[in-house]
């Protein structure tokens, strides 16, 4: 399991590393500077691997463009980052990203809970173009959490699963124990409701692994 520091300010990268992050996510849709400038600032601050992300408004972000606009914004940094998050709606851009050798995180974020059959079908669709599958859902009860844990344990790896919202934020701490390979945290400014800070999550993992 790797801790990802999801940043809206690349100057926080050094602090994220000091706190215990393993990777940096640059949320380009939440940053004022262009992606190239953000990556350069991040590289100057620390050597951690970088995930480049432009999250669409449909999946909780602030990007309102289509696949062509997404690629235009992302293109300058494709060779410079280690991972690129690609939602299904932008999957037509995969060939350009793949040509650079960059690892692809195929992602889907939804404000509902998906049934187990739907989760398994979605994983197959995302795995068709991604190296790592990322599925984030919104549980409505504890039964939904149990199904998400079951799915995470059973599915082909590598996979990242998680939850949206604060109600069941504890699932963020449990899912890595069942096989989720990435957990997204903050360093002061949350990029999603319910995120733990990097420091909190490092402490949680120490407690859970020693328990």
Catalytic machinery residues? 109, 134
- The answer to whether the CB of 49 falls within 8 A of the CB of 24 is yes
Contacts of 110-115 with C-beta under 8 Å, sequence gap 24+, read 110/59, 110/136, 110/137, 110/138, 110/164, 111/60, 111/138, 111/164, 112/137, 112/138, 113/137, 113/138, 113/139, 113/140, 113/144, 113/147, 113/148, 115/147
- The answer to whether the CB of 129 falls within 8 A of the CB of 94 is yes
- What residues contact 121, with CB distance under 8 A and at least 6 apart? none
Spatial distance between the Cα atoms of 171 and 81, rounded to a whole number of angstroms: 29
């Amino acid at each position: 399991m790797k801790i990802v520091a999801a940043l809206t300010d690349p100057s926080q990268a050094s602090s994220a590393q000091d706190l215990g992050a393993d990777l940096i996510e640059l949320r380009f849709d939440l940053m004022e500077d262009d992606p190239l400038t953000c990556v350069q600032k991040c590289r100057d601050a620390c050597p951690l691997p970088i995930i480049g992300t432009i999250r669409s408004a449909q999946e909780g972000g602030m990007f309102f463009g289509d696949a062509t606009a997404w690629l235009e914004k992302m293109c300058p940094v494709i060779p410079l980052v280690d991972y690129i998050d690609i939602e299904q709606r932008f999957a037509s851009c995969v060939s350009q990203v793949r040509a650079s050798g960059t690892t692809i995180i195929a992602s889907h974020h939804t404000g509902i809970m998906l049934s187990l059959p739907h989760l398994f079908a979605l994983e197959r669709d995302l795995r068709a173009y991604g190296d790592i599958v990322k599925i984030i859902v919104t549980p409505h009860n504890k039964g939904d959490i149990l199904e998400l844990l079951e799915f995470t344990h059973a599915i082909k790896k590598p996979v990242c699963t998680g939850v949206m919202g604060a109600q069941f934020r504890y699932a963020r701490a449990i899912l890595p124990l069942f096989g989720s390979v990435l957990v997204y945290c903050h360093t002061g400014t949350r990029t999603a409701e319910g995120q733990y800070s990097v420091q909190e999550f490092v402490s949680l993992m120490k407690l859970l692994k020693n328990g």
